[in-house]
Structure 1
């Protein structure tokens, strides 16, 4: 499986999940938590795919080593058969037996050549596959790093969201209590208190006026008494002054 195929599919899933989560978001923290979970699951899927890819490459490497061993073994068998034909049977004058072992040596050499060709043919593919594996490992490490960044960003955004929400509530509360607004609840209550205070002042003033009137009536009574006394004095022939 190619690197682009694995990470391209995951990238598509991540973008689709992000768009869906943002469209459906009501609670920012829930949205970000879900995003972290989705990205974590995507990393798990990537690990599974990469592990399978690595496993396939390791199988190819095992086959490659087996081919190299086979080439060595067939080469050894060819050498043994050729040596047997030359050293034993030809020396003993057994030409038919010697030819038999020479034919076996040829067969072994043919298999050796085939194994060597398989080894040679597999090497470019193995090199390419191992390079792809290293890129996949690097890509996975990058995804895991992005996940840590996402988690940190999630924590930061949640904190900022809560701060903004709290500030909004404070602003709403401040807006509901405006000491300079006569139409606000506080303003209306202040006006009510002022009316009560004015009423008390009026009552006090009214009471004060009533007392003044009473004292004035007392003074009028005193004046009337003096007039009567002087009138009585005049009638008796006395002085009209005291």
Structure 2
């Protein structure tokens, strides 16, 4: 039963404590399950040996029953032939076989109880091991997820500490400023062009006025003499 207690202690260990103390939780959990699996295999060997012993005791008990019947028959034959001496020997052998049968049956009863206890304990440990495997898988996924989140958070903190986002803001402001300057230059160019056209129009208007003035003077005889 020492192996049962040893395996039971392994399976009932606080997995969370094991993880918190391990540098590599996933590796620790795998080793934990592997160890428990190997211990359960060894325990199963003990169960099988106990079952084998039970079968041997049952066979010996059956053999003793047959031996008792055989010696009883031989004692009867000896009596019918007036061989009380042989009958006595046969009955003595029969008594020995009966004693052996009683011993085998007592041992068999104890062995059957032991086998049933071992099988019950094996089922209990097997259930605990399956539960441990399931918990191992869940904890490994949680550990991986936590590690990924930690790595992501560290990356965000590193970006923030390097002012990378501030650099992006400065670049955006620079682009906006360049676009504004380009827009201002385009507006200035358009205004200059409009001014030139306005000057041309004014010059043409002035010439038209001068021509009209000269014509009127000519009509009135006020032109150059």
Which TM bucket (shorter chain)? 0.5 to 0.7
Residue 8 (structure 1) aligned with residue 8 (structure 2)? no
Please list the CA deviations of residues 153-199 of structure 1 after superposition, one character each: whole Å capped at 9, or x if unmatched. 11111111111112222222333344xx8x8232255357758959x
1:64 maps to 61
Q: Tell me, which stretches of 5 or more residues in structure 1 are unaligned?
A: 86-100, 209-242
Q: Paired residue for 2:90?
A: 108
What residue in structure 2 maps to residue 159 of structure 1? 141
How far 1:105 sits from its partner (Å)?
0.4
Task: Indicate yes or no: 2:9 matched with 1:27.
Answer: no
Counterpart contact for 1:43–1:144, Cα < 8 Å: yes
CA contact (8 A) 1:36 1:151 kept: yes
Q: CA deviation at 1:77?
A: 0.6
| TM-score normalised by the chain length of structure 1 | 0.63
Residue 130 (structure 1) aligned with residue 112 (structure 2): yes
Q: Aligned-pair RMSD on alpha carbons?
A: 3.3
Partner of 1:29, secondary structure, is: helix
Segments of 4+ moved more than 6 angstroms:
13-16
Contact 1:14/1:42, CA 8 A, preserved across alignment: no
Contact 1:54 1:133 in 2 (8 A): yes
What is the aligned partner in structure 1 of residue 191 from structure 2? none
User: Is the 1:61–1:126 Cα contact (8 Å) retained in structure 2?
Assistant: yes
| 1:121 correspondence with 2:113 | no
Alignment TM-score, normalising by the size of structure 2: 0.67
Residue 44 (str. 1) matches residue 41 (str. 2): yes
Partner of 2:197: none
Distance change in 2, residues 1:13/1:154 (3 Å):
closer
Superposition deviation, residue 124 in structure 1? 2.2
Q: 1:221-240, aligned counterparts within 5 Å?
A: none
Which residue number corresponds to residue 164 of structure 2? 185
Does residue 150 of structure 2 align to residue 168 of structure 1?
yes
What secondary structure is seen at the aligned counterpart in 2 of 1:146? helix
* Cα distance in structure 1, aligned partners of 2:172 and 2:20: 52
Consecutive unaligned residues in structure 2, runs of 5 or more: 189-225
Q: CA deviation at 1:71?
A: 1.0
What is the aligned residue count? Answer: 181
Superposed, 1:196-211 pairs within 5 Å as: 197=177
Does structure 1 conserve the Cα–Cα contact (< 8 Å) formed by 2:19 and 2:29?
no
| Compared CA separation, residues 23 and 115, structure 1 to 2 (3 A) | farther
Structure scoring higher RCO (CA < 8 A, sep ≥ 6) equals 2
1:39-79 Cα distance to aligned partner (Å, 9 max, x none): 11111111112212221222222112111111111111101
CA contact (8 A) 1:6 1:49 kept: no
